[in-house]
Structure 1
């Protein structure tokens, strides 16, 4: 089958909030096909309809980042129709704002969605990235290393030669703390510790994967971004910024940042910060 040379941008978890606004911005400025993806066919199609009313025309595909089968189905779709992916925005994520301390089961579900899914995406979707592709990971100010309270992990995660295996050990150490009860949970990363751990792990993975791309001789940029405290359904409408404002820095990384910007933590106003200060 003929594969189109059209540029392709993909946004995960994009049927609402910041993801929806990123798709909107890409539809306006990205010269190629923009995929709005979501777990729910119904909610995804509703989001596409809203954009079509603005004369914007994203493509839609179901994508549940927590399901290897779903990610593989999407990868097969892309590889069948296109020559690769140019922009990938890892936006999908969850947070129960009502639970500052979660149960082990809730913490595991959150970490599976916010972090472990990135390893699935890396394994299945990253091989489809074109050589000058851009990956944008939606992190948070809670993704800064200073959110962690255990000194052993402050030291480990700041290493220049950090490995994916060590990040997994960090995540599993936290999940063990969550199993051990509220006091262990809070002593590890404070309130909302599961969300903080998921985003710190995402940030750390960003830097490790940038190093891996460089070692493999690939001109792929991967950066993480704090979009600001954005008023979304996830934050129960609390926040400083609109979702549209929250999309500003992710869109900068997707469209306008120099390709030399690699392996950085970008703030909502588009300036770089040191994640491990």
Structure 2
């Protein structure tokens, strides 16, 4: 099978909201193939059609980030048709804005989608990254360390030698708290604690993985970004920014930021902030 030598960008959860606008911006400015991925094929293809109607040419591939087989299928497709992945935007995520305190089951589903999926993606898609690939993790201002209330985790998550296993211990302690009821749920990160924990864990994982890439001698950059409080279906239409404005900083990281920008937390206006202040 002939492999296309064009660069490749992939956006997870690209059928609506910020993800859709990131795909749109990449189609306009990225010199290569842009994959809009979505777990629902019909909605994904409808999103592709919207972009095609304005003259853009995204490609589509179904992707459920919580399903290892689905990620493997995407990896097989990329391996067959392309030489690697140059931009990967981990955008897929969920939040029930109506529930500030979730059941253990709902909290686990959210964390599986927003955080645990990144570990599976790392295992399956990262081996396909080009030598100068860029990974953009869509975080939140709720992904800042200051959202966490327990001192042990404030101390642990800033360690220079933090490990993935320690991040998993943090996540698992929260899930145990969620199982133990309302007061335990809020003890670690307050209301919407499951979302906050998922995004803090994402941020911490970003820094750990950047350190790993550097140790491996790779020029891959991985950064996380707070796109702003964006008006989307997930926020029930509330917010300060349009999805197009929310895509600004992610697109900056994908297209314009210096390759030397590594392991950073980027604000919606594209400036670097201290994650642990």
Common fold: TM-score over 0.5:
yes
TM-score by length of 1: 1.00
Q: How far, CA to CA, are the matches of 2:25 and 2:269 in structure 1?
A: 16
Distance in 2, Cα, partners of 1:17 & 1:24:
11
**Distance in 2 (alpha carbons) for counterparts of 1:131 and 1:150:** 38
- Counterpart secondary structure, 1:101: coil
* 2:261 corresponds to 1:254: no
In 1: Cα distance, 2:223 partner to 2:3 partner: 28
1:149 maps to what in 2?
149
Q: Which runs of 5+ in 2 are unaligned?
A: none
SS at match of 2:94: coil
Alignment of 1:1-277 (within 5 A): 1-277=1-277
CA distance in structure 2 between the aligned counterparts of 1:10 and 1:187, rounded to whole angstroms: 37
Deviation digits for residues 194-242 of structure 1 (CA, Å, limit 9, x no counterpart): 0000000000000000000000000000000000000000000000000
Distance, in Å, in 1 between the alignment partners of 2:130 and 2:155 is 34
State the shift of 1:23 in Å: 0.3
TM-score by length of 2: 1.00
Note the residue ranges of structure 1 that are not aligned, 5 or more in a row: none
Aligned-pair CA distance for 1:3: 1.4
Alignment deviations for residues 115-134 of structure 1 (CA, whole Å, 9 cap, x no partner): 00000000000000000000
